Amino acid sequence: MHIPDGILPITISAAGYATSGAATWYSLRKIGQKENAQASVPKASLLTAAFFVASWIHIPVPPTSVHLVLNGLLGAVLGYYAFPAILIGLFFQAVMFQHGGLTTLGVNATMMGVPALLAFFIFRLRRVVGKESRWAVGLFGFLAGAAGLGIAALIAWGLLINTIPAHLDVEAERASIYALTLAHMPLIVLEGIFTALVALFLHRVKPEILED
Amino acid sequence: MIDGLDKYAHLRSSLHRWDPRYKLVGLITLMFAFSFVQDLRLLPAMLAVTSGLYAASRMPLAFLLTRLRTPGVFVIVVAILWPFISGTTVIARIGPLSLRQEGTLAMGLIVVKFISILTISLVLFGTAPFLTTIKALRALGLPPILGDMTLLAYRYLYEIGNDLKTMERAMGLRGFRAQWLSSRALGVLASLAGTMLVRSYEQSERVYKAMILRGYGHSSHPRDQFHRMVCIRAHPRDWAGLVGVFLVAAGFVAMEIWLRGSGG
Amino acid sequence: MKPALWISQSTFSYPDHPNVLQSIDLQIMPGERVGLIGPNGAGKTTLFLLACGVLRSDTGEILLFGEPVLPGDFHPEIGMVFQHPDDQLFCPSVWDDVAFGPQNLGLSKAEVASRVETALSLVGTLELASRPPHHLSGGEKRMISIAGVLAMQPRLIIYDEPSANLDIRSRRRLISFLQASRETILIASHDLELVLEVCERVVLLDEGRIVADGDPRETMGDVALMEAHGLERPHSLVYHAEPHHGCSGEAAAKREI
C-alpha cells in the first residue's frame, strides 16, 4: 500500500514531508528524554532491520500469499523509535526495491508511522489491566495490529480517492471506497491476529522486548 | 538485494563523479519538479531529460528495466482502471466498457511521471555506493540518530535476511508447508517472526557492548559516531552540475505555471 | 612492575543467575600470554566484561595497569575481540569499522588513516578495506575484528574463543599471528591445542572459581584435573606409546617403531 511516485500532487507530497518532519522531531525529542537513549540505538536499529525482513515472510492466503505490514507490531515493540524505524524502512524499500517512492516518502511514512505510534499507545494501555496478564497482551496486541493497518489503509485510500485527478461521479467514488474497505477487512483482522500471536511469543520468551 | 543496487556504482561517468551531496540536492529537486508537472505537453521534455540523464550515467538499460518491473506492475494495475472509469468524454467502446479521454490522458500522465521519477532515483542511488550516499545525507544535516540507525540497520539487514532464509529452509526440511491459513501455520510463522526479533534484540546487546568498548559515546565530537565523511572539496564542476539541474527543474516549474495560467 | 590486570576478590551475579564469579583473584603481568580454559558457563566471558569495565563487579576491585577500572568509562588500553565477529563488525565497510576506535580517540584524519592501514596490514587484510563485512568469509571477519581492536593500540588484548568456526588455514594464520604479537594477551578458548601453542600460562575456571593456574603442559596434562572440570587432556599431551587409536597394543607398538 505504499504510494508510488507520480500519482500524488506535489502539495500532498510536500505536506507529507512536513508531517513526517514533525513526527520525527517529536519522536527524537521523546527518545532524547529517556535515560539511556544511546544504548537503545543499536536495539532500535537491529529491530528495524528485523522488522523489514519479517515483512518478507509469506502468509498463505489462498489462492495467493500476502506480506504483512506489521506497523502495529513495530509500534508496540519499538515505542517512540517506531517512526524513525518506519521512515528508514520505507527509505530502504524505495531505494533498494523501488517499492513506494522518494517524493512520496513523507506521505508513506506519515501513513504508516503515525498509526504505528498510535498502536504503541494502544498497546501500552494493557497496563490498565496488568502488564503480566497474558490475555491483555493478546487482546491489546490484536488491537494494536488491527489499528496499525486499519488506520494506514484509511489514510491511503482517503488520499488516493481525493487527490487523483479524476472526474469520477459520486456513485463510482462511494462504491470504490466501500469495495476497498471491504477487501481490507480480512487483512486487518489477519494483521491483528498475527500481531497478537507474536506479542504473546515475545511475552513468553523475552518480555523485556515489550517494555517501554 | 543491496548488492544489486551497488552493481554499477563503480562505473566512470560524469554522474558517478558528481559530489554526492550536490547530486542528492540536485536530483531530488528535479524529482519534485517532475512531480509538480500536470500538463501533458511537458511530458516529452520530461522523458527527454530523464533519458539524457540515464544515458549520461552509463548504466545499462537492462538494469533500469529490471528495476521498473515490480513497481511498474502495481502502477499499471491502478492506472489501467482510469481510462475506463474516469471522465465523461467517451472515445471508444470495448464491449460494455467505455474508454474515456480524461482517464486515458490521466493514466498517461501518471505512467510517464512515475517512470521519470523512478529513473532519476535510480541514477541518484545507483551511481555511488549506498554507504556514500548515506554519508552525504549526514553531511547535509540528517539527524545523528537517524544516521546511526540507517547505517546499523543497513549493515545487519543482510545477516538477518540470511537468518530468515536459513530458518525457513530448516522448517521446510522438517516438513512445514505453509499452504493453508490454518491456526497452526499462523502460529508457526508468528514464532518465526518472533524468533527473528528476539535474536536481533540479543545480538544488538552484544553489538552495543562492542561499540562502547571501542568508545561509542566518548567521541570528542559531540555529534554521532558514524559521521566522518572524507571532506571532498567541491569542484567547480560539481557546482556547475547543480546549477544546471536547478535550471532544468526551474524550467519545468515555470512552464507548468505558465501553461496553467494561459488556460492550458 | 605493575600488573597489566589485577583482579582482587571480585564476585559477580546476574539477576537471574547468582554467583557467576566467586571471589576471583587474578594477576596478569605485562607481556604475559595467558590462556583461560573451562567448560561453558564457567564465567569466562563475564570475567572479560568485568575486566573491560562493561560490567561492574559486586565486590572487590579491578586495576588495569595500576588504574582502577571504572564501569562506563572508555579504556582504550584494553581491547576485546568478541566470540562472534558479526557482533563486532557493525560498520558498513571494513575501513570504517577499523577506523571507529581511533576516531573515538579523537585522532586526526591522517592519524586515523595511518592506524587503519597499519592494523589491516598487520592482520594481512589491507586489500579488503572497501568491502562490506557481510561479504567476507569467517576467517577474514575474524582477522578484521582483530584489526579493529589493534587500531586502538591497546596494551592488553582479550580474545574470546578466537578460533571458533575457523577453517584450518585461517586457524593456523591466527595462531601465527598470536605467537608474533607483542601485547599482553588473555585468550579464552576451547581449542586447547591453540592454548598450548600460544600461551605460557593457563588458568582453569569452573563454576566461577579459579581452580588451577600454572604451566600449560602441567595443568592441562593433569587428566584427573581436566576431567573433573568438564575438559579433556589435549591430544598432543597424550603419551604416544600408549595405545589409544582404537587398535591393539602390539600392533600400535610395532607401528610406532
Question: Which residue ranges make up each domain of chain A?
Answer: 10-210
Inter-chain Cβ pairs, chain A and chain B, closer than 8 A? 223
Q: Where are the beta strands (DSSP E) in C125-225?
A: 156-160, 184-188, 201-206, 209-214
Q: Looking at the predicted structure, is the pLDDT value of residue B100 above 90? A: no
- What long-range pairs does B78-83 form, CB within 8 A, spacing at least 24? B78/A7, B78/B110, B79/B107, B79/B110, B79/B111, B80/B107, B82/A164, B82/A166, B82/B106, B82/B107, B82/B110, B83/B107
- Residue of A50, A194, A6, A27 lying closest to A109 (CA atoms): A27
Out of A24, A62, A167, the one facing B88 most closely (by C-beta) is A167
Contacts of B218 in chain C (CB under 8 A): 74, 104
Question: What would the grid cell of residue C3 be?
Answer: 600488573
- Cα B207 off chain centre by: 28
Extract the runs of DSSP E, i.e. beta strands, from C65-137.
67-68, 78-81
Eight-state DSSP code of residue A209: G
The string of pLDDT tens digits covering residues A164-207 is 555 556 666 667 767 877 888 889 999 999 999 999 999 988 88
Nearest chain B residue to A36, by CA: B217
B225 pLDDT above the threshold of 60 = no
Take residue B256 and report the three cell numbers written for it.
507548468
The per-type count for chain A, helices as H runs and strands as E runs, is 7, 2
Query: What is the DSSP secondary structure assignment for residue C134, as one 8-state letter?
Result: G
Where are the alpha helices (H) located in chain B, listed in sequence order? 2-6, 14-17, 20-36, 43-56, 61-85, 101-126, 130-139, 144-173, 183-213, 236-261
Return the pLDDT at B227. 46
Rounded Cα distance, C69 and C61, in Å: 8
Of C90, C96, C105, the CB nearest to B215: C105
**What does the alpha-carbon distance between residue C154 and residue C75 come to, in Å, rounded to a whole number?**
9
A180–chain B Cβ distance below 8 A for any pair: no
B1 touches chain A (CB under 8 A): yes
Q: Is residue C63's pLDDT more than 90? A: yes
Mean per-residue pLDDT over chain A, rounded:
88
Instruction: Give me the CATH code for the A10-210 domain, please.
Output: 1.10.1760.20
For the four alpha carbons of B241, B50, A92 and A76, in that order, the dihedral sign comes to: positive
In total, the C-beta contacts within 8 angstroms joining chain B to chain C are 80
Alpha-carbon gap: B166 to the closest alpha carbon of chain A (Å) = 13
ipTM at complex level = 0.91
Instruction: Name which of A26, A50, C90, C118 is nearest B225 in CA terms.
Output: C90
- Say what angle helices A10-33 and B144-173 make with each other, to 10 degrees: 90
Of the candidate ranges A21-35, B98-112, B179-193, C5-19, the one whose mean pLDDT is the lowest: B98-112
B contacts of C90 (beta carbons < 8 Å): 152, 155-156, 207, 210-211
CB contact under 8 A, A94 and B121: yes
The Cα B34–Cα B121 span in angstroms is 12
Q: Which three cell numbers stand for residue B165?
A: 532464509
Whether the Cβ atoms of residue B252 and residue B117 lie closer than 8 Å to each other: no
Pairing of strands B90-94, B97-100: antiparallel
A209 pLDDT above the threshold of 70: yes
d(CA A211, CA A207) in angstroms, rounded, equals 7
Is C97 within 8 Å of C90 (Cβ atoms)?
yes
What pLDDT digit, counting tens, does each position of A52-92 carry? Answer: 999 888 888 877 788 899 999 999 999 999 999 999 999 99
